[in-house]
């Protein structure tokens, strides 16, 4: 019974030659002594020879370099393969290095097949030129090498992910980022190094795939991501995905930037800003914050032709409180005064400690009468309720001056000055009262 790879024993050389001539790939017929009996035009073209058989026959060594890439002598290795195929009869597929007459090397995939011709064993040799394939492999290898160099020189964690967000490669920075001993841990456990859900409520795996899809469509995507170390420590990161093509497949370069130090710096800056804009003792706004925001509010009021008022307040005889009870008690008085002022002032107004025992209030979007009533509520809140500290009851009052914006050319300093004049008038005319600038400006001291 003949095998699927054998020809009919009665096949003639002429018939076989005709078959070989019509094979679309390079094909050679050899006898049991390795002598080339026939080849097709594709084989002649591959070896840069004329199609004429006499130009392309001869010793086998002419078609191969002396040695194969594995160090084996070409002739000896080929004879072993021929003997094997002739004895065993099963086809053999292997890679072989041929060479043309001009000595150009030709990496080739060879399939050897035994056939019976006139009852004698012969070998058919089918060749597939791998030069283009090798060039493609070399080009791809060069791309991968360049990518590897790029990743290794990158100061942030950098890697390659496939279309399923499997991490294929990563640089060594990942070990310090996650506190791991080797890169393989990151490759194998990427989604274990992220919480199940991201801070925005999305499943980590779902969000990663969505971002990868966006990168494939747009070429690049940038987003924040929460990683975690193997010990559960949260690692806020900034991630960039850049689309690349490797092995004719869409992949992405992933850059992971650790934001912990940046966030610490931001938190420190916010804390410093809070200190600069908040009075540490009373919790009210600082003078600096007041000046910056009141200046902007005054400009808006001018542009929109809206009212703008300032109230200056100063505790009466506060020096006597400090001298009699000490500064710690005086500090408590300032804290309680700040709370009372906040409690009787409309939400949205700016109240600041202006210095020492002096406070300032900015009021917008209300009439002069409404602003005057606010000042009167502050005065009454201090006058009508004694301040109790450590069992002591202290009667502390406050004097207030109020001024309103009335001239388009006025600056904030101008209005502060008017409110200060009104406050001075309240002090000089008995204290524990509210005085308007219009009533104080003409007083004779």
For residue 266, give every residue at least 6 positions away whose Cβ sits within 8 Å of its Cβ, in sequence order, or none. none
Hey, which residues does 352 pair with through a beta bridge?
285, 360
**Which residues are bridge partners to 39 per DSSP?**
28
3-class secondary structure, 384: coil
* Residue 230: strand, helix, or coil: coil
Question: Which pLDDT belongs to residue 62?
Answer: 74
* CA 98/CA 68 separation, integer angstroms: 9
Cα distances from 110 to residues 22, 82, 122, 124, 279, in angstroms, run: 18, 12, 16, 10, 86
Residue 311 CB neighbour total at 10 angstroms: 27
Distance CA 324, CA 389 (A): 14
β-strand partners of 170: 159
User: Are the beta carbons of 6 and 115 closer than 8 angstroms?
Assistant: yes
Nearest Cα to Cα of residue 277 among 213, 350, 222, 337: 350
Look at residue 137 in the predicted model and tell me its pLDDT.
75
pLDDT at 444: 66
Token pair, residue 80, equals: 């072993």
Contact assessment for residue 309 and residue 366, using Cβ atoms and an 8 Å cutoff:
yes
**Separation between Cα atoms, residue 443 and residue 445, nearest integer Å:** 6
Helix ranges, 311-366 (H): 318-325, 327-343
Report the C-alpha gap between 74 and 97 in whole angstroms. Answer: 9
**Angle at alpha carbon of residue 98, lines to 92 and 102, rounded to 5°:** 160
Query: Closest Cα partner for 159 from 145, 170, 148?
Result: 170
The pair of structure tokens assigned to 47 is 């070896």
Active-site residue (options: 357, 358, 384, 410) = 357
Is 109 labeled as catalytic in the residue annotation? no
Its pTM stands at 0.46
Q: What is the pLDDT along the chain (445 residues), one digit of tens a residue?
A: 444 444 444 457 788 888 889 999 999 998 888 888 888 989 888 887 765 544 555 545 578 888 999 999 998 898 899 999 999 889 999 999 988 877 888 999 999 999 988 788 999 999 998 888 877 777 767 766 777 776 777 788 888 899 999 988 888 888 888 888 888 888 888 888 899 999 999 999 999 999 999 999 999 999 999 999 888 889 999 999 999 887 778 899 999 988 887 777 666 666 666 667 888 899 999 998 899 999 999 999 999 999 999 999 999 999 999 999 999 999 999 999 999 999 999 887 899 999 999 999 999 989 999 999 999 999 999 999 999 998 899 999 999 999 999 898 999 999 999 999 999 999 999 999 999 999 988 776 5
**Contact (Cβ atoms closer than 8 angstroms) between residue 353 and residue 338:** yes
Burial class (CB in 10 A: 0-12, 13-18, 19+), 96: buried
Q: How far apart are CA 310 and CA 411, in angstroms?
A: 12
- Indicate the SS3 state at residue 39: strand
């Amino acid at each position: 019974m003949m095998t699927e790879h054998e020809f009919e024993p009665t096949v003639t050389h002429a018939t076989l030659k005709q078959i070989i001539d019509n094979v679309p790939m390079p094909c050679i017929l050899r006898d049991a002594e390795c002598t080339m009996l026939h080849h097709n035009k594709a084989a002649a073209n591959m070896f840069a020879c004329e199609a004429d058989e006499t130009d392309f026959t001869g010793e086998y060594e002419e078609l191969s370099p002396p040695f194969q890439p594995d160090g084996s002598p070409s002739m000896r290795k080929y004879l072993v393969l021929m003997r094997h195929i002739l004895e065993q009869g099963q086809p053999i597929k292997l890679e072989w290095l041929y060479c043309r007459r001009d000595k150009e090397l030709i990496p080739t995939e060879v399939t050897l097949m035994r056939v019976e011709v006139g009852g004698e064993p012969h070998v058919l040799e089918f060749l597939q030129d791998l030069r283009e394939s090798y060039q493609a492999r070399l080009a791809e290898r060069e791309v991968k090498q360049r990518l590897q160099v790029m990743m290794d020189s990158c100061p942030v964690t950098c890697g390659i992910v496939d279309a399923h967000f499997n991490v294929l490669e990563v640089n060594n920075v990942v070990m310090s980022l996650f506190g791991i001993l080797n890169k393989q841990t990151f490759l194998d456990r990427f989604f274990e190094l992220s919480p199940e859900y991201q801070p925005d409520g999305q499943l980590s795996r779902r969000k990663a795939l969505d971002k990868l899809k966006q990168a494939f469509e747009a070429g690049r995507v940038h987003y924040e991501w929460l990683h975690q170390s193997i010990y559960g420590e949260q690692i806020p990161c900034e991630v960039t995905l850049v689309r690349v093509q490797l092995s004719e497949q869409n992949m992405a370069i992933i850059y992971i930037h650790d934001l912990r130090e940046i966030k610490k710096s931001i938190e420190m800056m916010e804390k410093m800003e809070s200190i600069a804009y908040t009075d540490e003792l009373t919790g009210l706004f600082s003078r600096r914050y007041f000046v910056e925001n009141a200046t902007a509010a005054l400009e808006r009021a001018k542009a929109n032709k809206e009212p703008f008022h300032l109230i200056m307040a100063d505790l009466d005889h506060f020096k006597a409180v400090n001298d009699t009870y000490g500064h710690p008690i005086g500090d408590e008085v300032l804290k309680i005064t700040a709370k009372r002022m906040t409690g009787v002032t409309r939400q949205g107004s700016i109240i600041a400690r202006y210095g020492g025992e002096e406070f300032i209030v900015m009021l917008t979007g209300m009439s002069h009468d409404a602003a005057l009533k606010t000042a009167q509520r502050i005065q009454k809140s201090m006058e009508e309720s004694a301040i109790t500290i450590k069992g002591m009851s202290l009667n502390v009052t406050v004097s207030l001056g109020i001024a309103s914006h009335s001239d388009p050319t006025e600056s904030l300093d101008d209005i502060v000055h008017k409110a200060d004049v009104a406050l001075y008038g309240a002090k000089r005319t008995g204290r524990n009262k509210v005085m308007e600038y219009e009533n104080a400006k003409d007083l004779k001291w």
